[in-house]
Amino acid sequence: MKIIIKADDLAGYPGKNKIIPKRWQKFVDIIKKYNIKANIGIIGNSLLFNDEGYFEWIRSNEKFIEYFNHGFLHRKFNFDGEVYEECRNTSMEYQLQLITYTNQLAKEKLKIELISFGAPYNATDKNTSLALNKTNIKTAYFLAEKFEGVNLKDRIDIEVPVHCPNFNEFKNSFAEKEYAVIQVHPNSWNDYYFNEFENMIKFLKDYKFIFAKEIA
C-alpha cells in the first residue's frame, strides 16, 4: 500500500527574519527523521517575492519532498450571495491562467517543474479538469471530474476535524487499499497535533507501508 502525505498551504514570510514558519520546519524535520516522503503544496503568490532564503529552503528538501501546485491565491470570494473559488465556479480560462502562473513562477524562481496539482480547499469543477489538460500536470488530488492524468481520490483522514490530527480516529477508520492520500495542514498544528502525526507515521511504518512522493 502506498501512502501519500499531502501537506497543504506552504507560504513563507517574505521580508521577515523568520522566512519559513517554524511549524513547516518541524514538519519537514519529522519527515526526515523517519526517512519517508511527503508532498507539500506551494501557494503560488508566495513566489512573487524575491526571497532567496525561502526559495533555497524549498530546494534543499527535494530529497524528501515533492512539491505540488496548490493554486495561486488560495482565496474564495462572495458576490451577490454566490461563492467563487479559484478552481470552482470560475471560467476555464481563469483557472488555466492561475495554474499556469504558479507553474511558471516555480520554474523561474525555484528551478522546479511542478507536475502535481491540488486545488485550494479541494474545490474543483469540470473547468479545472479542462484547464489541467492544457498543462504539464500529470497528477491531481480530489478532482470533481476526470482529466487526462491521474486523479488521486482515495483518502484517509487524520485531521478530525480539519487542522486537528487525531490518531485514534485515524487508526479506527484505517482500511488497507492500493493507495491512500493523507491530507494535513502542519502550519495549523501545536505540539500535541505534531505528536499525533508522529503516532500515525509510526503506526504506518510498523505495517511496512510505502510513503510515496508520487504515484503517477
Is 208 a residue whose pLDDT tops 80? yes
Average pLDDT over residues 25-48: 96
163 found inside a domain: yes
148 found inside a domain: yes
166 found inside a domain: yes
37 found inside a domain: yes
Is 173 a residue whose pLDDT tops 60? yes
Residue 118 exposed, middle or buried by CB count within 10 Å (0-12, 13-18, 19+): buried
Q: What's the CATH code of the domain at 181?
A: 3.20.20.370
What values do phi and psi take at 23, rounded to 5?
A: -70, -35
| The three three-digit cell numbers of residue 11, written as one number | 507560504
Structural domains of the chain, count: 1
For residue 76, the model assigns a pLDDT of: 83
Give 107-148 pLDDT, tens digit per residue: 999 999 999 999 999 999 999 999 999 999 999 999 999 999
Is 13 a residue whose pLDDT tops 70? no
For residue 15, the model assigns a pLDDT of: 55
How far apart CA 144 and CA 108 sit, in angstroms, is 30
Strand, helix or coil for residue 183: strand
Give 41-78 pLDDT, tens digit per residue: 999 999 998 888 899 999 999 999 999 999 999 988 88
43 found inside a domain: yes
> Under a CB-based contact definition with an 8 Å cutoff, are residues 87 and 119 in contact?
yes
For residue 107, the model assigns a pLDDT of: 98
216 found inside a domain: no
Which domain covers residue 69, as residue numbers? 2-211
Average pLDDT over residues 65-94: 92
139 found inside a domain: yes
Length of the chain: 216
For residue 17, the model assigns a pLDDT of: 47
| The three three-digit cell numbers of residue 98, written as one number | 492561475
pTM, 2 dp: 0.94
140 found inside a domain: yes
| The three three-digit cell numbers of residue 78, written as one number | 462572495
How far apart CA 29 and CA 36 sit, in angstroms, is 11
> Under a CB-based contact definition with an 8 Å cutoff, are residues 109 and 47 in contact?
yes
* Percent of the chain with pLDDT strictly greater than 70: 95
Q: Which of 183, 78, 188, 61 lies closest to 120, judged by CA? A: 183
